[in-house]
Structure 1
Amino acid sequence: MKIKLLTAAVAAIATSQVFALAPTASYDLEVRVSGATAVDNQFQAYVEELCDPATLDSFYQPSDVARGFGCTVPGGSVAGIATDLDVLFMKNSSGSSAGVAPLPIKPACHF
């Protein structure tokens, strides 16, 4: 009986998700960045530095080509920003040309 109860508790925890900002949240600002994977970790570190840690959520595409971060950037932490902003940062890492190729010859790059 205890094993069944433990299994049910673990399953309930594993299937539930807690988000600081809901995935359907309306963001004040969306920041889109694309390019090579070489800067992915630096981009993530910069986002983590800007964001209030209590509000930071990370979203990853299964192929790890795209990642997103939703958070609240506290007012005053960035020059010129006086109030808190809910920001969605998105990074597409499909290659160095992903940032410039869509401009002259390809359709918009999807995140």
Structure 2
Amino acid sequence: LVELYLQNESYQVFKFYHGQEALDSLKKNHYDLAILDVMMPDLDGFSLLKKIREDYFFPVIMLTAKNNDMDKINGLTLGSDDYLTKPFNPLELAARVKT
């Protein structure tokens, strides 16, 4: 669903189901934005965010079902630029990506 909405806004989308897979791709490619879910196998979104912030500088939006205040604070403290919880409005996500 996210992919479809972003493609309709003319964004090129690359998706990864595992955190380590995303990290490996970062070493070979340039990305302008990352949208991360906290709950990913092998390397969760918080851990991936920490690794991204060690070596890269581009916006990161956390998009996750982890909606308690401490999760939001943790994500923002680790360097997320935005934190959106599920369920969410895809049009709101598209608007956040644009800004």
Class of the TM-score when normalised by the shorter of the 2 chains: under 0.3
For normalisation by structure 2, the TM-score amounts to 0.26
RCO higher in 1 or 2 (8 Å CA, sep ≥ 6)? Answer: 1
For normalisation by structure 1, the TM-score amounts to 0.24
